[in-house]
Amino acid sequence: MSEEEPRAREVAALTDADALAEDPDVVDAELRKVLAETFARNPEIPFSEFLETVLYHPGWGYYTRRREILGAKGDFKTAPHVHPLFGWTVARAVQREWEKRGRPTSFTLVEIGPGVAYLMDDLWGYLQQIGQDTRGWKVALVERSENLRRIQQQRLAGKVEATWHNDISEIGKFSGVVIANEFLDALPFRRAVRRGVSWKELCVTARDREARELLWKEREVADAALLSVLPRAAPPGTVIEESLAAVDWVRALGAQMERGLVLFFDYGDLQEDLVENHPEGTLQTFSRHRAGTDPFEGLGSRDITAWVDFSAILAAAEGSGFENGGIQSQAEKLYEWGMTQVAEELARAQGENSIEAVKARLAAKTFLFGYPTHRVLQLRK
């Protein structure tokens, strides 16, 4: 996650005053109770099932509790937190796609995992500012967290007329543009390690009945779906993370989207590069903007993530009717869409030496040089 200066807007003003207690020891203890019940039924579980519990449990999960996880006061921040310039530039990509499609009267703009809705707020605001004709446009946001959905609805109230959905299938058939910024990396993933000429899955188990001490346990890869996305060859000891949930999301998207453009913004790489450059795997935790490597500490109080295997995403996409529109660094794509021009437009409008102009130009440098691991994957139908 980026450690750049956040934008001035804070999430705190939009969170409920009656938020759940933030005692990390209480949260950790409650999740261990849930895991203990799980281990009583199954002594070892895939890492993805562990993540589903600690990240998405309805009462105590990291993403579902009423707490600030994004922004300066949270655990990490994404590009839209740095400056509205990011959303303004993505708006240009959306506008270009609408033009490319012959200015259709029916056009759907979908954002998956909108976070606290900075991106959609900025994107839609820019479209209105440039006089984009959005009559007949539909805006759909896919968000499973009730907490984040409330924040999104408050932020976009009176600005964007949108519908909210738990799953992409609820939208129905559509054509338009889909945007997902750091969404794929937030989905549960599985881990495997190369032993000799075969792969072993790294599962989670507990040393004691109360799940106070969690451990890794290797077992044969029995899931054909997991085996199908693992590298055919890799040096012994190589660890890799693969998200079958991300693969399923792409397939579900392919079933609903008829025509248009999909933009996945995320940190990740092609599989062969992950194997070569990250043989120990890419699992990381984030708490208060500090990275860690132990997913079994502070359950429910830290994000757990890994780099996206774009090779697996591409394979699923091409098997779901999408064409590979190319994968580039995020910086290259933002530059191509005209980020520097947008910054200069603001400078001219606000005054060359204004604070707003200086902030925009500094933000442009941050986006063009401060996100070296982030990629943009384009899919087309």
Q: What is the pLDDT of residue 76?
A: 56
Note the pLDDT tens digit of each residue in 192-230.
999 999 999 999 999 999 999 999 999 999 899 999 999
In a domain, 4, yes or no: no
* Confidence band, pLDDT 50/70/90 cuts, at residue 29: very high
pLDDT at res. 289:
60
Residue 207 lies in a domain: yes
Q: Is the pLDDT of residue 7 over 70?
A: no
Q: What is the pLDDT of residues 56-112, one digit of tens each?
A: 998 898 888 756 665 555 555 689 999 999 999 999 999 999 999 999 989 999 999
Instruction: Say yes or no: 256 and 219 in one domain.
Output: no
Please indicate, yes or no, if residue 135 is contained in any of the structural domains.
yes
**24 confidence band (pLDDT: 50, 70, 90):** confident
User: Is 6 a member of any domain?
Assistant: no
Domain span at residue 113?
12-187+242-380
pLDDT at position 73: 56
Residue 381: alpha-carbon gap to chain centroid: 22
pLDDT at 290: 76
* Cβ-proximal residues to 349 (8 Å cutoff; 6+ apart), any chain: none
Q: Which residue has the tokens 């500490």?
A: 297
Mean pLDDT, residues 117-131 taken together: 96
Number of domains making up the chain: 2
Average pLDDT taken over every residue of the chain: 90
Q: What is the CATH classification number for the domain harbouring 94?
A: 3.40.50.12710
Q: Are residues 304 and 254 in the same domain?
A: yes
Pair (54, 97) in one structural domain: yes
Do 120 and 144 share a domain, yes or no?
yes
In a domain, 349, yes or no: yes
pLDDT, tens digit, for every residue of 282-297?
999 987 767 788 999 9
- Please tell me the predicted confidence (pLDDT) of residue 3: 36
pTM: 0.89
Per-residue pLDDT band for 6 (boundaries 50, 70, 90) equals very low
* pLDDT tens profile 141-174: 999 888 889 999 999 999 999 999 999 999 999 9
Q: What is the SS3 assignment for the chain? A: CECCCCCCCCCHHHCCCCCCCCCHHHHHHHHHHHHHHHHHHCCEEEHHHHHHHHHHCCCCCCCCCCCCCECCCCCEECHHHHCCHHHHHHHHHHHHHHHHCCCCCCEEEEEECCCCCHHHHHHHHHHHHCCCCCCCEEEEEECCCHHHHHHHHHHHCCCCCEEEECCHHHHCCEEEEEEEECCHHHCCCEEEEEECCEEEEEEEEECCCCCCCEEEEEEECCCHHHHHHCCCCCCCCCEEEECHHHHHHHHHHHHHEEEEEEEEEEEEECHHHHHHHCCCCCCEEEECCEEECCCCCCCCCCEEECCEEHHHHHHHHHCCCCEEEEEEEHHHHHHHCCHHHHHHHHHHHHCCCCHHHHHHHHHHHHHHHCCCCEEEEEEEC
Same domain, 299 and 182: yes
Q: What average pLDDT score do residues 121-147 get?
A: 94
- Residue 312 φ then ψ, to 5°: -65, -40
Rounded CA-CA distance 162/52 in Å is 28
Better-predicted residue by pLDDT, 71 or 312: 312
Q: Are residues 231 and 276 in the same domain?
A: no
